[in-house]
Chain A
Amino acid sequence: MKHIAIGILGAAALGFMASAASAGTLDTVKQKGFIQCGVSTGLAGFSAPDDKGEWKGIDADFCRAVAAAVFGDGSKVKFTPLSAKERFTALQSGEIDILSRNTTWTSNRDSALGLDFVGVTYYDGQGFMINAKKLPGVNSALQLSGAAVCVQSGTTTELNLADYFKKNKMEYNPVVFEKLEEVNAAYDAGRCDAYTTDQSGLYGIRLTLSSPADHVVLPEIISKEPLGPAVRQGDDQWAHIARWTYFALLNAEEAGITQANVDEMKTSTDPNIQRILGTEPDGKYGADLGLSNDWVVNIVKAVGNYGEMFERNVGSGSPLKIARGINALWTKGGLQYGPPIR
């Protein structure tokens, strides 16, 4: 129901909004003193509240990084949990300032939906999970013909699923829910044979099931799912801040700047590190973005570099234990590549 409320609110907001271009998001954010960040309703490793009610995960940390860049304080974020259906309207109508909610970057969303994706914080692909105890002998997605498949509505996942079964001339019946928790509950109760979403999501969801050990993730990856944060179109300054926050996280990892050593790195004489940390004499790379010159120092102090963020939330430091794989830096054979700060 909530998405309709947001839809109507969005429509009303569009109707009553002053037609003159409003002030830039950076000014608005500075004025209210925090960033409103749209996250998922709870996906382990990406954005989920812990037992103290604090949001954890790569997506939540990305918002903290932007807050650190803007305010010098990573805690100046307020989180809005959104279902897959609500997310774009919430951003379009100005209810949130940044959407950091395991969202796939597609051409349609980048153009017709009025969004502007700032980068790929996690390269993912869609997979399937089944209950191996109930379905012994199924070890490939190609054996799933006739299965009932649980999926969240309004996602690229829903579209890929239709494409995959059509392409392989297989039958299935979709069991579609609006909220992630509803899909999880239905799959756990045995309403469907298979669960499909981004593979990283499957590992996170498996941990929340009643008996995680019974479930296996099938080897097939059926799509490209570049997940990343998005901002509203038409505000270049705010888009640059979000985009370069992401690149700063990558550059910090590449230069070996970590949460632990960032203070001593400030005395480094390496010109590259000096440029990144804003210690270069007369450097004003931060100021050019509309930020302070020590913006990267603040980011790394708040959330660490990209690698630290990854390992803490989804990698070896988390229950998910996902390997870096294609999310490693380009120098280590992965796809994560940050354009230089200079």
Chain B
Amino acid sequence: MASQEILREEPSRGSFINDPRIRSLFFQTLVVILLFGSIWWIINNVIENLQRLHIASGFQFLKSRAGFDISDTPIAYTSDATYGRALIVGLLNTIIVAVAGIVIATIVGFIIGIGRLSQNWLIRKICTVYVEIFRNIPPLLVIFFWYSGVLAVLPPPRESIHLPFGSFLNQRGFYFPRAIWGDGSWLIGVALLLAIAMAWFVAHKARQRQRATGQQFPVFWTSVALIIGLPVLAFFLGGMPLTFDFPKQSTFNLTGGFWVKPEFLSLLLALSFYTAAFIAEIVRAGIRGVSKGQSEAAAALGLRSGPIMRLVVVPQAMRIVIPPLTSQYLNLTKNSSLAIAIGYPDLTATAGTVLNQTGQAVEGVFIMMIAYLVLSLVTSFVMNIVNARMALVER
């Protein structure tokens, strides 16, 4: 009764205090004013206090000479470059280790996750032990395990372990020959692109044929033959335009060749193996989440266990797997900031050095936060696109 009365009386009373729309507008405006007011107050206070304490502020420092060297530089960098460029080098190092880590973690995670559902007792138990070990150790300890426990106990440069193909392994890292492509090697690249295009075309045609006639075509092996065969053919036709720069012993280290430093290796291995344990659990949950009736129905249609997994179970499992997988990718990217403990020059380490050499802590921390925020948003954006493509199309 009471509510009916209010409804009826509302227009006639006209008191805007009781109008829920006006009231909610009022409180929303109040919150916005308070929020921006306090942000403005904080920024203003920071500027005032920086001036009072005679600390330089602003972002002009990005253009001054850095003066320090960085061990891993994906782009050209010397001590004469600017602080801004040093930060970009750090950001690129973070991206490199994050992307490589995501790829390895995904592959290892899927293998372990499927292995946990294996019929084979031994495989199942090994995968369980792996997950329980790596999931329950803090990532920093895993990094130290690889850095101090595995890579640091390798022999010094002069007693390097010789590996096949002129590669070396010692406590300074992993060295392998660097390929130097000579004249005419463009032919190989063209052949590779051509092969990929042809493989795609074959797959497309095979799908059409299967739809029309039901006949299957060995698409996978044809593609492998094309993608490997054509570039190899081009390589021989081009007169084998390839030489190698082998790592050689010099006074202190090995020089020449390609050098992967132990800091990068241990960070990459630690992050990938740590995150792989979580991905394995997500994959297992995803596969378990597809109802048993689905595979039974597929079996009733006469599909064998391989195609059942590939065509029926995994596509449905992916819908469950992708959203939590995105979180793991974000975690991996952010965990890469632990690199500072072993001296890999990622964004956190480089920005920390810049922050200290310039003394501009507020700006330094701000740049770091923005950079990680952007990295995470880009990862989420890409994964959301993947998710949207995988999602169930409802009619």
Binding site for B on A (CB under 8 A): 1, 3-4, 6-8, 10-11, 14-17, 19, 21, 84-85, 88-89, 92, 108-109, 111-114, 134-135, 143-148, 153-154, 158-159, 161-163, 166, 172-178, 182, 185-186, 189-191, 193, 232-234
Contact = CB atoms under 8 A, between A and B. Distances in A.
Contacts of A189: 148, 152, 171
A148 B50 contact: no
Of A109, A161, A173, most buried by chain B (CB within 10 Å of CB) is: A173
B55 A92 contact: yes
Contacts of A112: 55-56, 358-359
Interface stretch (B123-131, B209-217, B227-235, B343-351): B343-351
A15 B53 CA distance: 13
B71 A178 contact: no
| Dominant secondary structure of chain B at its interface with chain A | helix
Interface of B: 42-43, 45-46, 48-50, 52-56, 67-71, 78-80, 148, 152, 156, 158, 171-172, 250-253, 255, 262, 337-338, 340-343, 345, 348-349, 352-353, 355-359, 361-362, 364-366, 368
A191 B262 contact: yes
A113 B42 contact: no
Contact of A175 (B46, B53, B71, B362): B71
B343 A109 contact: no
A89 B341 contact: no
A14 B46 contact: yes
Contact of A4 (B52, B156, B251, B352): B352
28 contacts: A1-B340, A3-B355, A7-B362, A8-B365, A10-B361, A16-B42, A85-B356, A89-B355, A92-B55, A111-B54, A112-B56, A113-B56, A148-B172, A148-B253, A153-B68, A153-B343, A153-B353, A154-B352, A161-B69, A162-B79, A174-B70, A174-B71, A177-B343, A178-B352, A182-B342, A186-B343, A193-B252, A193-B253
B341 A163 contact: no
Given A10-B361, A174-B69, 16 more contacts: A4-B365, A7-B355, A15-B49, A92-B361, A109-B359, A114-B359, A134-B156, A134-B158, A135-B252, A144-B252, A153-B356, A176-B70, A178-B343, A182-B341, A191-B172, A191-B262
A292 B361 CA distance: 38
Of A7, A89, A111, A114, most buried by chain B (CB within 10 Å of CB) is: A7
A92 B358 CA distance: 13
Contacts of B42: 15-16
A85 B355 contact: yes
Contact of A154 (B56, B156, B172, B356): B356
Contacts of B171: 189-191
Of B43, B45, B340, B341, most buried by chain A (CB within 10 Å of CB) is: B340
Nearest to B79: A162
A178 B341 CA distance: 7
